[in-house]
Amino acid sequence: MRECLLLTAAWFVVVGSAAASEATEAAVMIQAASPSNGTDELYGEKKPTIIDVYGFIDTRFGVRTGNAVIGDKDISLGEIRLQLETKQYVSRFTFNFAADFLFDPVADRYAVDLASGGSAIDPRLINVEFSPANFIDMKVGRQILTWGTGDFIFINDLFAKDWDSYFLGRDVEYLKAPVDAAKASFFFDTLNIDVVYTPKFGADRFVDGRRVSFFDRATNAFRGRDDPLLFDRPNDWFEDDEVAARAYRSIGAFETALYYYNGFWKSPAGQDALGGRATFPKLSVYGASLRGPLAGGIVWAEAGYYDSASDAALDPHIRNSELRFLAGFEKEIATELTASIQYNLERKLDYDDYLNALPSGAIQDAQNKHLVTLRLTKLALRQNLELSTFNFYSPSDKDGYVRFNASYKISDELRIEAGGNVFYGAENQTFFSQFRNNNNIYVAIRRSL
């Protein structure tokens, strides 16, 4: 099976690269009768509308390096991804479209699944932008949203993430998952405001065992491909909705912001006591951040109050309310060598009530979870080679996770890379150690169209 996938991947790379070369040499012409085109001045014929279609072909192959959970495949990643994207301007409207077409034999599923991704077609952008007034910008439809200051740590960014992609070695852009939402941006002299309304809850593409195995505290056992997590996700339009808002402005050289979110925990944070299925409890978040220059580098800080469901403190099946804090600093420490460090705190509130509600023999979390990260990035060979490593370490949980990657740009159109994901920790119950059966290495090649 492994040799077949390798041969298939190699074949797709060769064929895909050849197709890409042909695509870049030919313009994509679509005949359309458009009032703005008019007729040719000399011959009176309709002019063709030229639609620029661009994108890439990305081939990735990865294998697990540790002991996989029973039922899991040794191949962690084996896919050919074609992304096509275009942008069209019609009057005062801008239409954006981008979709991934995926060949992924590891997934064993090809139905379109807009919520969890990983299917044969994954639309990432289908939206329209317009300005109903000179101080308002609107974007309506499927889009990718992000804000906040953290480097791979998200406090006030409560938009959907794709954790399978992150842990398996897909390009880092796939950490962010698309959502169906309406975003309004208001621009004033004193501050700017973003408001995002999501009419149906957009959950994370979270780890459920199908691609990345994990330790399930509820069953005290690992869940993998043959025994994925069962869950009930809020799924009603305009009832299970979300609202996120950000007010931001610059104060001197510093960018400051206030945040608000009302919706649900983005990954399962509760459990139905009767059926045993994972749930997504209600969640509200209030936060603030700042970012700016300091001591020849960039410093940032962010905080958030996570107000979980009202009965969370008395229900051991629902994640407790929390106070979260993040501080970070980045600086070039040598020629083309950049380092950044972060400290993150997650503090459980109503901790005594949480302890009293725990059933006998249940795994007990500490009140304070500490996390430290270190990123090192080195550029070489006229910046065509990039070496990077990112380490998460929790001194309270005594576990961690290392991402490493080497990327080389052969030309403006062609890039190759290799990397890996390593989880470590002595106990299965902590956050990073629960994934340690998923240690993997991967190689990739990307051709721009």
Reported as a pLDDT band with limits 50, 70 and 90, residue 312 is: low
Question: What pLDDT does 104 receive?
Answer: 86
Residue 299: count of CB within 10 angstroms of its CB: 17
Q: How far apart are CA 38 and CA 34, in angstroms?
A: 7
Q: Could you tell me the CATH number of the domain that includes residue 289?
A: 2.40.160.10
Reported as a pLDDT band with limits 50, 70 and 90, residue 349 is: very high
Question: What pLDDT does 175 receive?
Answer: 97
Structure tokens belonging to residue 24: 């870049």
Reported as a pLDDT band with limits 50, 70 and 90, residue 136 is: very high
Q: How far apart are CA 351 and CA 332, in angstroms?
A: 41
- Secondary structure in 3-state letters for 374-429: EEEEEEECCCCEEEEEEEEEECCCCEEEEEEEEEEECCCCEEEEEEEEEEEECCCC
Better pLDDT: 51 or 162 = 162
Average per-residue pLDDT in the chain?
87
Give the list of residues 6+ apart from residue 73 with CB closer than 8 angstroms, or none: 64, 106, 225
154: nearest Cα among 166, 142, 143, 140? 166
DSSP per-residue string spanning 264-292: E-SS--EE-TTT--EE--EEEEEEEEEEE
Task: Give the pairing type, strands 49-50 and 414-425.
Answer: unpaired
DSSP per-residue string spanning 146-168: --SS-SS--SS--S-BBHHHHHH
Give the list of residues 6+ apart from residue 71 with CB closer than 8 angstroms, or none: 224, 225, 226, 227
Each residue of 363-411: pLDDT tens digit? 888 999 999 999 999 999 999 999 999 999 999 999 999 999 999 999 9
DSSP, collapsed to helix, strand or coil, labels residue 175 as helix
- C-alpha distances in Å from residue 223, one per residue of 124, 161, 210: 29, 21, 8
Q: How far apart are CA 431 and CA 350, in angstroms?
A: 21
Could you give the number of structural domains in the chain?
A: 1
Would residue 126 be called left, alpha or beta, if left means φ above 0 and alpha means ψ between -120 and 50 degrees? beta
Give the list of residues 6+ apart from residue 6 with CB closer than 8 angstroms, or none: 61
Tell me the one-letter amino acid at 418. Answer: A
DSSP per-residue string spanning 331-351: EEEETTEEEEEEEEEEEESSH
Query: What average pLDDT does the segment 236-246 reach?
Result: 97
Domain range for 361 is 2-448
Reported as a pLDDT band with limits 50, 70 and 90, residue 316 is: confident
Reported as a pLDDT band with limits 50, 70 and 90, residue 181 is: very high
